[in-house]
Structure 1
Amino acid sequence: MDLTVVAYIVYLLVSVGLTVWVARTLSRNGRIFLADVLHGDEKLADAVNHLLVVGFYLVNLGFVALYLSQEESVADARGLFEALSVKLGVVLLVLGVLHLANVYVLNRIRRRGALDREPHPPVPPQGWTAPATGA
């Protein structure tokens, strides 16, 4: 079997495995975060979590498929490891950037919701009173 084909197989197995592992981890641990962002609405948090996971799979698996091709053939074991390290490194960087983008957006939504939930004064300020002199 050609080493290029071996590189493709190993790349697909590791990339898809990493994508599934990251998606499951984010889904499991992100549910609590989403419930807080969405003010405790568990059903909405589950729905948003599911939609985020589906989008995560589509983007990552699409990228893995597009990044599969390689112009040069792999001649030896060293070339196999070099090709795999570049491809898997890029996939890991894309996974990390997408994760950080998700967390950033959700944290912005969470902060905005926290500001809205802060208690407001019961009565707006009525004016200013000068301090008493001689006190």
Structure 2
Amino acid sequence: MVELCYALYLAITAGITIWVARTLSKNGIVFLVQCFGHNEELARSTNHLLVVGFYLINIGFITLTLSLGAEPTSLPEAIRFLSGKVGLAVLVLGAMHFFNMSAIAHFGRRVNRWLNDQAPVPAGN
């Protein structure tokens, strides 16, 4: 029972992590291009680095939480075990997403202000 729970936990959380990373990467590039003043090369590079960091943090978190909690000995305990661990992993994924979006939006506003300050002043002003 324990080995099956661990295998299911790893499979479910790895699947969710991969799906979320791909979704954020694919849909986040438009946001990053806008945040980085339409510098597509910088946006793609940042997007890739965010995905790598996302995988590293989530895989580390998922493997660390394997040792937390009592091992299940019955089917109801196995269900609670899996739901607790998967739920915690999903909450961490969501928190990371909101933290990243907030940080990128803040940085993007600073970059856009800087770019606007660097724009040439029209003649006659």
Please give the TM-score of this superposition, normalised by the length of structure 1.
0.81
For residues 1-135 of structure 1, the aligned pairs below 5 Å read 3-116=1-114, 117=116
Larger helix fraction of residues: 2
SS in 1 for 2:70: coil
Unaligned runs of 5+ in 2: none
Amino acid at match of 1:104: S
Identity percentage over the alignment? Answer: 40
Amino acid at match of 1:109: F
Distance 1:85 1:102 in 2: 25
Distance 2:43 2:33 in 1: 5
Q: Report the counterpart of residue 128 of structure 1 in structure 2.
A: none
Q: How far did 1:71 drift?
A: 4.8
**Count of paired positions:** 121
Q: Between Structure 1 and Structure 2, whose CA radius of gyration is higher?
A: 1
Q: How far did 1:76 drift?
A: 1.1
Question: Residues 7-66 of structure 1, C-alpha deviation per residue, up to 9 Å, x if partnerless?
Answer: 100000000000000000000011011111111111111111000000000000110011
Please give the TM-score of this superposition, normalised by the length of structure 2.
0.88
| Deviation >6 Å, runs of 4+ | none
Root-mean-square deviation (CA, aligned residues, Å) is 2.0
